[in-house]
Structure 1
Amino acid sequence: MIDPKTTFDWNHIRAFLTTAEEGSLSAAARQLGQTQPTLGRQVAALEEDLGVMLFERVGRTLELTVAGGELLEHVRAMREAADRVALVASGQNQDVDGRVAITASDVYSVHLLPPILRELRVNAPRLIIDVVASDDVQDLMRREADIAIRHVRPEQPDLIARLVREAKGYFYAATEYLDLRGRPKTVADLKHHDFVGSGDVPRMLEYLKPMGFPIDLDNFRTGSDSGLVAWEMCKQGFGISPMAEDVAEATPGIERILPDLAPIGFPIWLTTHRELHTSRRIRMVFDTLADHLTKD
């Protein structure tokens, strides 16, 4: 058990946090402008203070232990709280100005971002927020956006990514459609239903086949590369469509089918440039997004 009187060096905490978020000592060292041996000693010192192992090496990468994962959650909360306190104490919220571009899928841009943007408008009225509704992972690298909400972690070394939540999705259809075509009681019943395609339908079928879905391309009678358009088709009764739970549950006239079916899990990553650590406005927007998106 950790002695509650134990004091910790914030440099050690920062070394642990950066290593956990970057995935390796070498990447963390570059991020903090330190040498890898120095960073390694700081992490080791924290492990010694706590009396637990925080990382285990898997190949060339480091993976958090159970204890490390638990500590990471608390350390992130500490960092975010400290940032908020600093902003409030110095009266900087009202002084934050400039433009910040956020890119997210069209579905998230319409359904999830507006309440977050309202909070930002209140807390930092001089901010100018642009929303880039796009699924293109290259938006950040082309400097078309400052912060991205994505379902995949970027590989580019110049970007910082934080996993904020493991979200869930299910299959839904309009009540109008289900009243007309019947409510499927088993996965086998889906063979006789229409589906609305979103994006790459063959790839979607590859994902659904291991789940036992007895459907093929003929079941996809409508679809769109736009997730927002595909969801509107579902709402209008064109067929069954997958959707993130938080979006679907807030949509009237929609029913979840096969309630016992296992959810589709997908991560939500917040990604930004390394200016996160130097730009006050990007930091504020990033942390506000993280606060909202972390909530179930």
Structure 2
Amino acid sequence: MKGMHYFIMQLSWDHCRSFLAVLAEGSLSAAARKLQLTQPTLGRHVAELEQTLGVALFTRSQSGLQPTEAALELRPHAEAMAAAAETLLRTASGEAADDRGTVRITASEIVGTEVLPPILARFTRRHPRIALELVVSNANDNLLRRQSDIAVRMATPAQDALVQRRIGTIAVGLHARRDYLDAHGTPQRLADLVGHTLIGFDTETPAVRAAQQSGLLPDRQAFRLRTDSDVAQLQMIRAGIGIGACQAPIARRDPELVRVLPEAFDFPLECWLAMHEDLKTVLRMRLVFDHLGEELAAYVKGRAD
């Protein structure tokens, strides 16, 4: 779309917010309810945006409003504006040199549900004026677009302009509940796994296929129970259904969980902290970043809750 970047500089944030709501909801009425606006107001925003850009953004169909190619091209730019607006609000919620305001953290499913809660509890007791927002997702939020302030990453951050800290390597091994092994036997070599109930992934993503090529993962058909949720896999292991992969520090908390074939299957998982370099001078960001770094290092070394 010619002149897109010039037009973006001229756009109203209200127009972009309305545009994104219609994209997400598929109709003016649903988008108006989401934003708590009247339908005519929201429709006017979209019409004015189309006039500014000189293109149609939606076409009507029986199923609602369908985005045009121009709308899909505009979408990532509008999402970047939305992320910047959210960051502005979080930054404005506290002074840079004060220990108050909001910090948004993103972490993987397992780290966000199993590792961070006690770590964040200790932080909030020390710094009651800092509010924390936790995004739990295995997708990597874009810190450069300010989708989050601080990220706990399970791989080396690839983006530039980030403050990065390597926490260490988390061992991931095969585990099963003790009573499952009592009933079905403990495998002595990898070939023995064939007769066991294995818990694993459902969708073969590029990352999964790369792990398969390196010999770390079998074909999905080897798993009798399949789910793409790491939390669900962990709960299945805890329920005694079968054998599955689990972070070793988490398994050590439960005396009923036994590591299986530790020498044959030992997958190292890198753990990193990252935040945008522009945030390193903001006190509350540094406080959270340093606290996470200290506590996650203790977790990796097996000294944490």
Scaled by the length of structure 2, the TM-score of the pair is: 0.60
Which runs of no fewer than 5 residues in structure 1 stay unpaired? 1-91
Identity, % of aligned pairs? 32
The number of aligned residues is 203
Contact 2:141-2:148 at 8 Å conserved across structures: no
Map of 1:290 onto structure 2:
293
Q: For the structure 1 residues 138 and 294, does the alpha-carbon distance in structure 2 shift closer, same or farther, using more than 3 Å as the test? A: same
Map of 2:195 onto structure 1:
192
Computed over aligned residues only, the root mean square deviation of the Cα atoms, in angstroms, reads 2.6
Contact 1:173-1:240 at 8 Å conserved across structures: yes
Contact 1:103-1:139 at 8 Å conserved across structures: no
Q: Give runs of aligned pairs for residues 1-296 of structure 1, distance below 5 A.
A: 96-198=99-201, 200-201=203-204, 204=208, 207=211, 215-261=218-264, 263-295=266-298, 296=301
Letter of the 2:246 partner, please give it: M
Tell me the CA shift for residue 113 of structure 1.
0.8
Contact 2:104-2:135 at 8 Å conserved across structures: yes
Contact 2:202-2:220 at 8 Å conserved across structures: no
Tell me the CA shift for residue 209 of structure 1.
6.6
Q: For the structure 1 residues 144 and 290, does the alpha-carbon distance in structure 2 shift closer, same or farther, using more than 3 Å as the test? A: same
Q: Find the aligned partners of 2:216 and 2:132 in 1 and give their Cα distance.
A: 43
Q: Find the aligned partners of 2:225 and 2:189 in 1 and give their Cα distance.
A: 23
Tell me the CA shift for residue 179 of structure 1.
2.5
Q: For the structure 1 residues 174 and 209, does the alpha-carbon distance in structure 2 shift closer, same or farther, using more than 3 Å as the test? A: farther
Q: For the structure 1 residues 212 and 169, does the alpha-carbon distance in structure 2 shift closer, same or farther, using more than 3 Å as the test? A: closer
Q: Find the aligned partners of 1:224 and 1:218 in 2 and give their Cα distance.
A: 12
| Deviation string, structure 1 residues 84-129 (Cα, Å, up to 9, x no partner) | xxxxxxxx9xx51111111111211122112211221122111101
Q: Find the aligned partners of 2:149 and 2:107 in 1 and give their Cα distance.
A: 11
Letter of the 1:154 partner, please give it: P
| Deviation string, structure 1 residues 175-226 (Cα, Å, up to 9, x no partner) | 232233221111110122222114645754753675587x533321222222
Scaled by the length of structure 1, the TM-score of the pair is: 0.62
Q: For the structure 1 residues 233 and 262, does the alpha-carbon distance in structure 2 shift closer, same or farther, using more than 3 Å as the test? A: closer
Greater CA radius of gyration, 1 or 2? 2
Which runs of no fewer than 5 residues in structure 2 stay unpaired? 1-94
Q: Find the aligned partners of 1:232 and 1:226 in 2 and give their Cα distance.
A: 10
Q: Find the aligned partners of 1:138 and 1:288 in 2 and give their Cα distance.
A: 20
Map of 1:11 onto structure 2:
none
| Deviation string, structure 1 residues 220-239 (Cα, Å, up to 9, x no partner) | 12222221111111212232
Q: Find the aligned partners of 2:209 and 2:186 in 1 and give their Cα distance.
A: 21
Q: For the structure 1 residues 260 and 141, does the alpha-carbon distance in structure 2 shift closer, same or farther, using more than 3 Å as the test? A: same
Contact 2:105-2:151 at 8 Å conserved across structures: yes
Map of 1:58 onto structure 2:
none
